Amino acid sequence: MNIPIYQVDAFTSSVFGGNPAAVMPLAHWLEDRQLQAIAAENNLSETAFLVAADNAWELRWFTPSTEVDLCGHATLASAHALVQHMGVQQPELVFATRSGNLSVTHSHGSYLLDFPAYTLTPDAVDVAVCDALGGMASEVWQVEGTCKKLYVFEFEADVARLAPDFAALVAASAFNVIATAPGDECDFVSRFFGPHVGINEDPVTGSAHCALVPYWSSRLGQARMSARQISERGGRLDCTLQGDRVFMTGEATTYMVGEVSLPL
């Protein structure tokens, strides 16, 4: 069995930036253990699997260790693969996922993602988590319905200098951490630490912005914002909050096209 594979750098206009994802279109769903084994072999933060279904595509996302409920960069990468490599022409693509139907609209190399906005509830600052991160947060918010918490810092430099002890972070909390602060040259910056899902630091995390955008929209009193994820690879997003939806705009570029050979 030979399966096409496209490795796409998402939320960037040039290779070696943004967040890499593997996109693999399937004729039909394989067993979950096979999907997980492929994702582990790819060893990227996310592998997206697609199966065509009527006027949409069923879409699932796997880290090297588990399936996740929502992934922004691999959704963008999937749209890019469909448009640039699989001959899809329609301007709006619809994906059926564990988080409901998600749409991506594309125009002139730019992709607009329509995602759900998460609800945030205030939480106590966990000193053990801050010690593991290497910096003291001023606020903490639980991201409802997820295994994420939002840790808010005073300055961009505070987030940039975090150097987590990931073993200590796993021991201190069952939650992955979104670290954020006001940006020096944008509205806000962030980093995402996900050791519980097999990703110590994710380069650019669309799903984290489903929490970040509602938070910063409320704090800044504006619906449209510019964001940077200040990982080593880095990425930029333009974000808008409309009701209970978060819209994220980004670019993508193909790094590699290939084929995976599996035993029947």
User: 193 CB contacts (<8 Å, ≥6 apart)?
Assistant: 133, 164, 166, 169, 176, 177, 179, 200, 201, 202
Which structural domains are found in the chain, ordered by start?
Answer: 2-116+249-261 (3.10.310.10), 120-237 (3.10.310.10)
Burial track 33-64 (b if 16+ CB lie within 10 A, e otherwise): eebbebbeebebbbbbbbbeeeebbebbbbbb
Known catalytic residues are: 46
Tens of pLDDT along 208-233? 999 999 999 999 999 999 999 999 99
Tens of pLDDT along 38-64? 999 999 999 999 999 988 999 999 999
Nearest CA-CA partner of 245 in 105, 110, 147: 105
The letter for the amino acid at 64 is P
Largest CA distance in the chain: 56
The rounded percent of the chain whose pLDDT value lies above 90 is: 94
260 pLDDT above the threshold of 80: yes
**Distance between CA atoms of 157 and 129, rounded to whole angstroms?**
18
**Distance between CA atoms of 181 and 208, rounded to whole angstroms?**
14
Cβ atoms of 159 and 153 within 8 Å: the answer is yes
At residue 253 the predicted structure's pLDDT band, cuts being 50, 70 and 90, is: very high
Mean pLDDT of the chain: 96
264 pLDDT above the threshold of 80: no
Per-residue pLDDT at 263: 82
Tens of pLDDT along 8-37? 999 999 999 999 999 999 999 999 999 999
**Distance between CA atoms of 259 and 264, rounded to whole angstroms?**
15
What is the average pLDDT across 101-130?
96
Helix (H) or strand (E) holding 22: strand 19-26
Of 34-38, 198-202, 254-258, which range is least confident?
Answer: 198-202
Tens of pLDDT along 54-98? 889 999 999 999 999 999 999 999 999 999 999 998 999 999 999
